Chain A
Amino acid sequence: MRSRSALTDAQTAEALGAAWLERVLEPVSRAGRLAKDGLRPFAPGQESEARAAAAEVLQTAQRCGEGQARTLREILRRLPEPGATLALVAAGGTIDDAELTGLLLFLEGLRTLRERGRGLLPERLLPESLEDLYAHLARGRTRGGGFYLDDAFDPALAHVRSAAERARQDYACERARLRAAAEAVLGDAAREDGEFAIMRDTFAGPAPACVHVLREAPLYRIFELSDDAAALAALAVLEAAREQVATAEERVREALALELCGRAGALLAQARRAGEIDLHLGAAIFAQEHHAVAAEIVADRELTIVEGRLLPLEQRLAEQGRRYVPISFELRGQAVITGPNMGGKSAALRTAGFIQLCAQWGLPVPARSARLGLVSSIRWLGGAAGDERDGLLSSFGNEIVALAGALDETAPAARLLLIDEFARSTSPREGRALVVALLQALRERGELALATTHFANVAEATGVPHYAVAGVRRVLAQPGLAKPALAEALRMIGEAMDYRLVPASLAGAAGEDAIALARLLGLDGRLIAHAERELRAARSPEEERRDAWIR
């Protein structure tokens, strides 16, 4: 759902990790899955609702001790969904005992949820336990926790069942009598139920009256007991008794179906509530596990994040034993992010989008704090755009087509544009010109946009705020160091890189970090030394200040 909504297109959803978020929040019950289908993100104008939703989730997360939310969810996981059964009774269909069992389990689940959820779940979500209906169906509850169309549903059941059991025993006695007679003639292979074989060298005479021959073979005959008049009379009584049992049982089922039909609305409402609880608990577990906080949701067009985290990336790094560095920035209108390769520029864009995405769905956000306005869409532009023209367009062509489409969209003001290294695949001079023109256009349209680029002086040319990745904090690789394996190089880069975003007025030239990266990745040492001498000669007082700021 979160990966397939009007809020994000497919490319944006993929870039932001919407599928990851959807997986983490996946409901465990069928009711939850149905509720999820009806979910919609909050839109501009629904700020107070979005705030309330996130606050409610956080309240549940705080109330639920470790494991309590999961315990409640386990009840939901086992909760049958009554919709199909209720549709059946509403249509006048007959109900069976498995469906009655499902409804009883559903009502029991609601009671348990209400009991265990009190004090943990918001009052509005506590399910109604429909006690009268439960008490009615619970007459069929067995000691082992199952369901049986018990005599307690209708005293007539006990009467006809007793009669049927007496008739069954009478008929069984008749069959036993017939078998004893057969056994006396044919031997101990004779049995009451099913066929039996007698070798001709054991018995070759005519079949006694108590059996009939099912099959003749050269060496043996297959017999089966044959009911005589007394047995047939007992069988007739048994069949009649069984019919009476069937009639009485159907009467009970019909009465139950009628009652359920009258309560279908209430039952379906509780099923929907169970689905909501499932989604709510999923969000609460998300907030607990990822230390999420309520974003301050405002009517303004802004996105301010303090120590925001891109959870899919944080998780992947943790799996590799690597550290994750939260980022902070303030976006009001447009801003530019620059920095070295592998410095986390795209990750910063994704973090912004991920946090916006969480807030739009009424979730607490993974940050120390956040302040943001709701948008009607989030669009990821640039980067690894997919070719929608079957290879007829180049990377640059694809970017332009996607951008043109985004700029043509209506209601552009209420959206967040995340522009990742736009025009990087064309000539640097023309590419920079396009980026500058794009940012100026976005500024004039009043769009909320965050853009990464390697082009120089874009922010200065457009007058938008400029952030830079802090960059490499220490020497990545000493001259003469053997070239490490890729995984090791990535670990060293991760250890040495300062991924924080800092105001560009305090940042230095990205080229310094690029040289350090090149050294680590095994570029010739003499070449590296030459480049460093060149760089040092061109060092400015501002660059010295930036290093001091980072320290």
Chain B
Amino acid sequence: MKVPNFPGRRDVAADLLVRARGSASCSIAVVGPGKDVGKTVTALALVRAARRAGYATAMTSMGRDGEHQDVATTLAKPRIVLPAGTLIATATALLPRSPAVEIVELCEHLTALGPVAIARVRTECAVELAGPSTGAAMRDVIERLKHDAQVVVMDGAVDRMAATAGGDDALVVATGAALAPTLAGVLEQTRALVARLTIPQGVPAGAIVVGGALTSARACELLARDDLERGVVVRDPHSLQLPAALLTAIQRRGPVSCRRPLNVVAATVSAQGPRHALDPVALARAVADSTGLPVYDIYRNAVVGG
């Protein structure tokens, strides 16, 4: 029996994939400011869309994904069932025992669960993913995956996505009701994250160049200066390790830019949080309006903006 493929059906994950690849990136990082905002659902939808489009595809995680429950919250997590042919990078201890996967390479990078292996799924199966725990190692693994895959999808929290600095990855920001009890709260956090990730590239003449992380303490030092109007330059958006209010305070006094910008292409929303739900249509519209990004709702198969 042949499995039907629904050729005329609208698929927003495929649209999102086209948008991300349109930015000339073959790696896509799905980042979110918290748990349960739909990162894994978005990443998995991208992987499946890429496989349906015939791309050699790879997936990895900056944290740990695919287990039944979150070890911290005990909330159920989405299973990661990958189609045959998909490459994964995960700790060897998490490789499925059956059906057997093809081990492509044993890497030197370590995780808390042992060394990382790159493997190819031979038969559709559920997997658990735990990629390298440092930014540099993750960057190395991503580059390695790019040798064999046309699309590499990374699933990870924003505070672990330092690996995206210096790369040409497309970033998809996942947000949702789990962030805050109100729509306004979700919007505030999402807007702050997008503002941080999208600071422009450039080194204005006379700007104050900050080496390393721009922390709260260094922000206070900067705010005490009287020459902030010339601007502040950091290495990349991940260098901004300060509360949104302090960043905004600096930006009111002068432009903040970076040497290596990130490539944020879209946002996705999840209207259902573990304790409450928001209006998905209103959430998507508001996120699109406040960030200027096209917003995809994988659960509703809908898109706003863009």
Contacts and interface: CB of A to CB of B under 8 A. Distances in A.
Given A172-B3, A245-B99, A218 B299 contact: no
Interface string A321-360: 0000000000000000000000000000000000000000
Interface string B48-72: 1000000000000000000000000
Interface centre among B81, B123, B281, B300 (most CB of A within 10 A): B300
B103 A98 contact: yes
B98 A249 contact: yes
B74 interface: no
A179 B11 CA distance: 14
A194 interface: yes
Contacts of B97: 96-97, 246, 249-250
Contacts of B73: none
Interface in A237-277: 242, 245-246, 249-250
A373 B249 CA distance: 75
Contacts of A217: 271-272, 277
A219 interface: yes
Interface stretch (A58-66, A141-149, A503-511): A141-149
Contacts of A97: 95, 97, 100-101, 103
Nearest to B48: A193
A149 B95 CA distance: 13
Given A197-B297, A220-B280, A249-B98, A146 B105 contact: yes
Contact of A176 (B3, B95, B120, B302): B3
A222 B299 contact: yes
Interface stretch (A161-169, A282-290, A427-435, A488-496): A161-169
A255 B183 CA distance: 59
Contacts of A173: 1-4
B300 A199 contact: yes
B106 interface: yes
A196 interface: yes
Contacts of B1: 169-170, 173
A105 interface: yes
A188 B98 contact: no
B300 A189 contact: yes
Contact of B104 (A96, A146, A165, A180): A146
B280 A148 contact: no
B41 interface: yes
A249 B100 contact: yes
Nearest to A102: B106
Contact of A164 (B6, B41, B99, B119): B99
Nearest to B78: A194
Contact of B106 (A101, A161, A250): A101
B102 A148 contact: yes
Interface residues of A, number: 47
Interface in A176-224: 176, 179-180, 183, 188-189, 191, 193-199, 215, 217-220, 222
Interface in B286-306: 297, 299-302
A36 B238 CA distance: 42
Contacts of A215: 272, 277
B95 A98 contact: yes
Query: Looking at B10, B92, B148, which has the most chain A CB atoms within 10 Å of its CB?
Result: B92
B159 interface: no
A403 B35 CA distance: 66
A188 B117 contact: no
A80 B105 CA distance: 12
Contacts of B102: 142, 146-148
Interface string B96-140: 011111111110000000010101101110000000000000000
A246 B100 CA distance: 8
B279 interface: yes
A110 B263 CA distance: 46
Given A97-B100, A97-B101, A219-B279, A193 B81 contact: yes
A246 B99 CA distance: 6
Nearest to B277: A217
A138 to B, nearest CB: 14
B9 interface: yes
A199 B98 contact: no
Nearest to B281: A199
Contacts of A180: 4, 6
A245 B97 CA distance: 11
B9 A242 contact: no
Contacts of B301: 188-189, 191, 196
A148 B92 CA distance: 14
B148 A144 contact: yes
Q: Which of B44, B297, B299 has the most chain A CB atoms closer than 10 A to its own CB?
A: B299
Contacts of B41: 194
B104 A250 contact: no
A24 B123 CA distance: 48
A102 B117 CA distance: 11
A164 B277 CA distance: 40
B300 A218 contact: no
A145 B106 CA distance: 11
A170 B4 CA distance: 11
Interface in A102-161: 102, 105, 142, 144-149, 161
Given A97-B101, A189-B300, A189-B302, 9 more contacts: A98-B115, A105-B106, A142-B102, A161-B123, A170-B1, A188-B9, A193-B81, A219-B277, A246-B99
19 contacts: A98-B95, A98-B117, A144-B148, A145-B104, A146-B105, A148-B103, A161-B99, A161-B123, A176-B3, A183-B6, A183-B9, A193-B81, A197-B271, A197-B297, A198-B300, A219-B277, A220-B271, A220-B300, A245-B99
| Nearest 8 A/B pairs, CB to CB | A246-B98, A217-B277, A98-B92, A197-B299, A148-B102, A149-B100, A189-B301, A146-B104
